[in-house]
Amino acid sequence: MSKTLTVNNLIRYLKTSSDKAEIVRIVYLNGNDDAAFVMDLCTNKGFPEFCRASSIVSDLELGNAEIMTEDPWAMSVRDSDLSEAEKELRDRAWNIICDLADPSKEPAIFDKKERNKLFRDVMKEHNVLHRSLYKYMRRFWQRGKVKNALLPDYKNSGAGGQERIAKEVKRGRKRKLQHDPRIGEGVNVDEDMKKVFRLAISKFFRDLKEITLQDVFNLMLAEYFFEEFYFDEANVRKSILISPEKKPTYAQFHYWYKKEKDIEKDITARKGKNKYALTSRPLLGNSTSQVHGPGYRFEIDATVADIYLVSRYNPNWIIGRPVVYIIIDVFSRLIAGFYIGLEGPSWLGASMALANCVADKVEFCAEYGISISDKDWACHHLPYTLLGDGGEIAGANVEPLAANLRVRVETAAVGRGDLKGIVERNFRTIKEKVKPFLPGQVIPDAHKRRGIKYMLDAKLNIHQFTRIIIDGILRHNKQYLKSYDRNEMMIADDVQPIPNELWQWGLENLTGYLNTFPEDTVKLNLMPEDFGRINRNGIVFKKMRYSCERALKEGWFIKGNNRESEKVRIAYDKRKPNYIYLKSQDGRSFEKCYLLPTEEKYMNMDLSEIEYLHQFEDAEGRFDLSRKQQEFADHAAFVRSVVAEAEQDADKFFDPTLTDAGRIAKIPENRRFEKEKRRENEGFELNKNETLPKQAKVIPINSDIQIQKAESLDYPDELDILSQSRKRKKELQKND
C-alpha cells in the first residue's frame, strides 16, 4: 500500500490512545515542513490539530493505523436532487465561510489567535453568531472540505422543503387589519395563481426594458386580476381591479419569484447574453499560471485526431475520426488522465478523462494488454484547479466538481489557447510522434494528389488506437523535458525534469493540493446521467437490458408491479456499458446493475460503437420495413383477387330457391360429402408414374349370356391341352 498522504485522506487508528482520535481527516499537508493538520471525525467540538506527516506515515507502516478506502461523507449530489430549503441553507452557510475556506487562509486559520481574528471579522461582516460559524467550519473540515458538506442532515425527516397544498384556511402570517373590509384576510397562492406569476415574469420582467419587480406586479394585477374594464374619454382601456381580499400581495409575488427564479435566464433576457457573460456569470477561478505543487492546476484539452477509425463490430465500417481528451498537471507536466471517444468536445468526454485521472492505472492499462507498475503512472487524484475551454467544462455539468469534489473550475477565454498552452503543446507532441505510422491518417492536401481517399485506408479501431495513445503517454511521463525550468530546491535535490520524478518530488516536498476521494464516489460524480425505464424485460437503457439484486428482490419486473414503466435516473460510463448505476436519494450510495446475458453482444464495447450499431440496425430495419410493406401490398392484392373470384362463382351458382335455414340445416350433410371427395383426392398413392400391366378380363360363370360370349372368344380348351400332353408322353415311352 502506498504511504503517500494527500488532503482528505481518512486515517483510522487501530490502536487508539488518550491523545489520538479513532478516525481523523487530513485537512492540510506541507511536505516541505513535514506539517499536517487533522480533524477528528468523532466529535462535535474542537478544531484541526497539528501533527507531523511523518508520524502518520510511521503509524501506517507499523500497522497502528490505516487509510480508509470508504468515506462516509463522500457524496454525489446535484442541485436538482435538493429541495429549495436545503440549497438555501447550504448557500447561506457557504456565503459566510467561503473566504475562510479558501486555501490561501491555510495554515494561518489553524492557529488559534489567527483563527479568532478571522472569525471575528466574518461574524461582524455577516452578523452571525460564533456558535453558528464554528458549526459551519467544523462541518466543512469534517466532511471533506466541499461546499455540500454544509447541507443539512434532515434529508429523510419531516416535510422540509416541500410545498404545502393550498386549502381553505389562509396560510402564513395574519394581516393586522384583516378585519377591515378594505384589506381583508387575503388569499392562498395555489397552482393556478403561480402559473399567472410565471406568465407575468416571462411577459413583463424578462425583456430589455428592465422594469422593476414592483412594476411587474402592478402590471400583472391590471392584466389578470380585474373585475371589469372600461374605456375613458380618450378611448383608453382601463381595468377595475378585484377587491384586496381576493388578490395576492406583492410579498407573495416576491416570495414565489425568489423561490423559482432563474438568475441566468433573468439577466440574459434583460441585459443580453454578452452582458451576462461579462458581468454576471460565475467566476469559479482565475487565469493565473502560477502553480505551487502537483495538483494545484490540471489543464484539459480536446482535439479531433487526424485519423479515421473502423468499428470493432465490422472492420468494413468506417466510423470517422475520434476525439482525444488529455489532462496534464501543470507543475510536473505529468499526463494525469485521458479519454478517446466519438463525442465532440463536450463535458461528456471531459468527465471520462477526469474519471481516468482517479483510476488505478495499473488495472486500466491491463485492460488494454499493457503491463505497468505504480511508478510508471502514479496519478490517481483530482486537482485543486481545473482549467479548460468553455465547450468542455461549462454549464451545470461541472457543479458536482466544486460542490462534492472540491475542484475549482477555470475556463480559458475564447481565442486564448495560450492560457492552457502546457496541455496543447504536449498534445501536439504526442500526436506528431505517432501520426506517421497510422493508416487512415488525414492528408491535408489530398485533393491535389489525384483525389486520394485516405479514409479508405482506415484499419485501426478505438481499442487499438487507445493502446497506441497509452504507450505514447507512458513514454511522455518518462521523457526528459529540455524546456522545463527547475527551481533552486529541485536543483539542490538533483531532481531531473522528468514528469514522473517531478510529480513524486512535489508530493514529498511541497504543499499538498491533490484531492483524494473514494474512486467510486469520484466516478459517480463524473459519470453522465440519463434515464432508464423499468419493464418486464429489465431496466432498459439505450436499447440494452439490465438487472440488479434490488430489482429482483423487490419484484420490479413482475407484470402488474407498481414500478412497471417507471423512469429511473441512472449513471453510466460510455466506455463500459456492462454496468449502469442507480443512485440513492442522498447520493452516498448506489445500486450496481449488470447487463443481462441475452445482451452478450454489447459486453465490453464502447457505447459510441453500440450506438453506431443501433443506427446501422435501424437503417436496415427501415429498409426491411419497406420490403415488408411492399410484400403486404402484393399479398393484399392477391387476396382481393381470390375473393373477387369466389364472389363471382357464388353469384353464378346462386340458387334462389334455397332458404337461409335450409342452407344451414344441410351443413352436416355438405360436410360429409366434401370430406369424402377430399379423401378421394387426398389419399396417398405411391409411385404414381409406374406403368402397370394390362388387367385380364373376369368372366362370371353364372350368366348364360356371358358364357356364350366367353365361348365365342378364341381361348384354348383345357381338356384338349391335357389330352395332347398324354399322347406326347406315350410316344416318348415307346421310343425309349
- The confidence band for 248, taking pLDDT boundaries of 50, 70 and 90, is confident
Report, as an integer, the average pLDDT of 553-564. Answer: 79
Among 165-174, 302-311, 447-456, 622-631, the least confident range: 165-174
* Helix runs in 375-438, H state only: 390-393, 399-405, 421-434
d(CA 363, CA 286): 35
User: Which one has a higher pLDDT value, 351 or 3?
Assistant: 351
Mean of the pLDDT values across residues 561-575?
80
Give domain limits for the chain.
10-67, 79-150, 191-280, 298-522, 528-605, 704-735
* Least confident among 478-482, 670-674, 692-696: 692-696
Its pTM surpasses 0.85? no
Q: Is the pLDDT of residue 617 over 70?
A: yes
**Residue 676 is inside which H or E element, if any?**
helix 667-682
Give the closest residue to 430 by CA, choosing from 438, 439, 420, 440. Answer: 438
How far, rounded to the nearest angstrom, does the alpha carbon of residue 38 sit from its chain's CA centroid? Answer: 36
Average pLDDT over residues 536-561: 86
Segment 310-320 mean pLDDT: 87
Beta carbons within 8 Å of 111's beta carbon, 6+ residues apart: none
CATH superfamily of 298-522: Ribonuclease H-like superfamily/Ribonuclease H (3.30.420.10)
Partners of 436 in the β-ladder = none
Weakest-pLDDT range from 268-272, 340-344, 488-492, 677-681: 268-272
Do the Cβ atoms of 299 and 423 come closer than 8 Å?
A: yes
Query: What is the predicted pLDDT for the residue at 46?
Result: 85
Average pLDDT in the 338-358 region? 83
Q: What is the predicted pLDDT for the residue at 693?
A: 62
What pLDDT is stored for residue 489 in this prediction?
85
pLDDT of 417 over the 60 cut: no
Examine the pLDDT at 301 and tell me if it is beyond 50. yes
Confidence of residue 286 (pLDDT cuts 50, 70, 90): very low
The cell numbers describing 467, all together, are: 493502446
Mean pLDDT of 172-186: 52
CA distance 675 to 273: 85
* pLDDT tens profile 93-143: 999 998 898 888 888 899 989 999 999 999 988 888 888 899 999 999 988
Residue 298's DSSP bridge partners are 329, 386
**What confidence score (pLDDT) does residue 334 get?**
92
Quickly list H helices, 435-581.
Answer: 462-478, 488-492, 499-509, 519-526, 549-554
Count other Cβ atoms within 10 Å, centred on residue 425: 13
Express each pLDDT in 452-507 by its tens digit.
Answer: 577 788 888 889 889 888 988 898 899 888 888 888 888 888 889 999 999 999 88
pLDDT of 319 over the 60 cut = yes
Residue with the bigger pLDDT between 249 and 158: it is 249
Residue 233: per-residue pLDDT = 75
Q: What is the pLDDT of residue 205?
A: 76
Residue 674 has pLDDT above 90, yes or no: no
Q: Is a pLDDT exceeding 60 seen at residue 680?
A: yes
- CA torsion sign for 168, 174, 176, 182 is negative
Digit-coded pLDDT (tens) for 503-528? 999 888 876 678 777 778 887 887 77
Predicted pLDDT of residue 606: 75
Query: 299 and 327 in contact (C-beta within 8 Å)?
Result: yes
Radius of gyration for the alpha carbons in the chain, expressed in angstroms and rounded: 44
CA dihedral of residues 517, 518, 522, 523 (deg, nearest 10):
160
